[in-house]
Amino acid sequence: MFIDRAKILVRGGDGGNGVTAFRREKFVPRGGPSGGDGGRGGSVYLESTEGLNTLLHFRYNPEHRADRGRHGEGSKRQGQTGEDLTVRVPVGTVVTDEATGELVYDFTQPGERVKVAAGGRGGRGNAQFATSTNRAPRYHQEGRAGEERHLLLELKLIADVGLVGLPNAGKSTLISRVSAARPKIADYPFTTLEPHLGVVDMGDYKTLVVADIPGLIEGAHEGAGLGDRFLRHIERTKLLLHLVDISVWSKDPIADYRTITRELAAYSGEVAAKPKIVVATKTDALEDAERLDEFKRFCKGEGLECFAISAATGEGLKELLYAVERRLEAIRASERPAPIAAGNLMQSVLQ
Ligand SMILES: Nc1nc2c(ncn2[C@@H]2O[C@H](COP(=O)(O)OP(=O)(O)OP(=O)(O)O)[C@@H](O)[C@H]2O)c(=O)[nH]1
Ligand SMILES: [Mg+2]
């Protein structure tokens, strides 16, 4: 199981102080106390959203403080309330209080919102303390401090994208170039023995979660090599990247491509039918440009989107990531329930 973790500090805004003041007006001798109360500090809320799928953004931004309340003023004017702060977390985030180990909240639906740090109460101004025996109190209250908590956020990562290909195709190298994941990379087959995930930061709080799994070989569905059991780790991904070594070290890229598609189909029709982008790898070690052209023609003939990259030089990586993001966006849009057309809605209301 892959868990993304982040520790954050949340702090409600301090309450504003009350104030000591007296009415001073023409023709009103010895005006009474008029110090207003301080405003309440803002609170911090966590809110779940579908627009995030990792906790990566908290690494840059671990502290969240709500606005403080303003101090009271004369003429019994209350200080302004501090603004609340809403911090967005992905659906699936489990929040615990670090100090007590207590579960704070388990976000399971989008749009859930919970208060995690209350703002401090505003202090009372001297006007509030006037009594029949003390009509001119010269004291006020300070605002209370906002609540402060250290929270641990945990999220089970679900990969958006799965990498498949023969051993040595360059899967681990690709994930290490585009994410902080540091899998073992070597020039022998089956370097990767266990699946792992990398989180790709696409900027603008957008992230991609990519799963790197051990290479497949001919007969994997019958147990050859490491077998095909690792494919279950990509069963829930939305998109596959099928990596094919195009360099001088591979004999026949098209045959390599077909080997993997056969193994995917033997494992499960559903996995084989997943949306796919083909990635020709190691273009820096390509000797014969015609080889890449031929491979691209083959992909085109099969109706497959194809990108050529070199993880060694970085060539083509950006274009690939953008294409992945575009495809994911399109897949997500097609999964969303279609809005009910106005006509149908009327009909269902009338029925
Ligand atoms: N020249 C060059 N070599 C690359 C490139 N990408 C990967 N390699 C090399 O290819 C070999 C295999 O790379 P890996 O990333 O370990 O391949 P893999 O697909 O993860 O392999 P398995 O884990 O065994 O399935 C390593 O020696 C890498 O250095 C590239 O863009 N250019
Ligand atoms: Mg590997």
Spatial separation of the C-alpha atoms in residues 169 and 15, rounded to whole Å: 60
The per-residue pLDDT for 292 is 95
Mean pLDDT confidence for 174-181: 89
**Ligand sitting nearest the alpha carbon of 220:** 1
pLDDT in tens, 12-44: 999 999 999 998 776 666 778 999 999 999 999
Which residues lie with the beta carbon below 6 Å from any ligand 1 atom? 165, 167-173, 185-187, 189-192, 214-215, 281-282, 284-285, 310-312
Query: From the CA of 325, how far away is ligand 1's center (Å)?
Result: 23
Mean pLDDT confidence for 265-288: 94
Query: From the CA of 184, how far away is ligand 2's center (Å)?
Result: 7
Q: At residue 28, what is the residue type? A: V
Q: Which residue has the least CA distance to atom 2 on ligand 1? A: 282
Query: 297 or 3, which is more confident?
Result: 297
Partnered with residue 165 across adjacent β-strands are 243
* Lowest mean pLDDT, pick from 35-44, 103-112, 197-206: 197-206
The per-residue pLDDT for 344 is 59
Q: Which atom of ligand 1 is nearest to the CA of 165?
A: 19
Domain 161-335 has CATH 3.40.50.300: yes
Q: Which atom of ligand 1 is nearest to the CA of 313?
A: 31
pLDDT in tens, 114-138: 999 999 999 999 989 988 888 889 8
Q: Where are the domains of the chain?
A: 3-156, 161-335
The per-residue pLDDT for 345 is 55
| Percentage of the chain lying above the pLDDT 90 cut | 62
* Average of per-residue pLDDT values in the chain: 90
CATH class of 3-156: mainly beta
Q: Which atom of ligand 1 is nearest to the CA of 163?
A: 19
Query: From the CA of 95, how far away is ligand 1's center (Å)?
Result: 38
Residue 348 confidence (pLDDT) above 60: no
Residue 104 pLDDT class (50, 70, 90 cuts)? very high
The per-residue pLDDT for 4 is 80
DSSP string, 47-89: EEETT---STHHHH--EEEPPPPPPPBTTTBPPPPPPPEEEEE
Mean pLDDT confidence for 102-125: 94
**Ligand sitting nearest the alpha carbon of 189:** 1
**Ligand sitting nearest the alpha carbon of 226:** 1
pTM of the complete model: 0.74
Residue 350 pLDDT class (50, 70, 90 cuts)? low
Q: Which atom of ligand 1 is nearest to the CA of 187?
A: 27
Query: From the CA of 59, how far away is ligand 1's center (Å)?
Result: 29
Residue 143 confidence (pLDDT) above 70: yes
| Region class of 206: left (phi > 0), else alpha (psi between -120 and 50), else beta | beta
Mean pLDDT confidence for 233-240: 89
* DSSP for residue 162: E
Q: At residue 77, what is the residue type? A: R
Query: From the CA of 337, how far away is ligand 1's center (Å)?
Result: 40
Query: From the CA of 171, how far away is ligand 1's center (Å)?
Result: 7
Q: Which atom of ligand 1 is nearest to the CA of 188?
A: 24
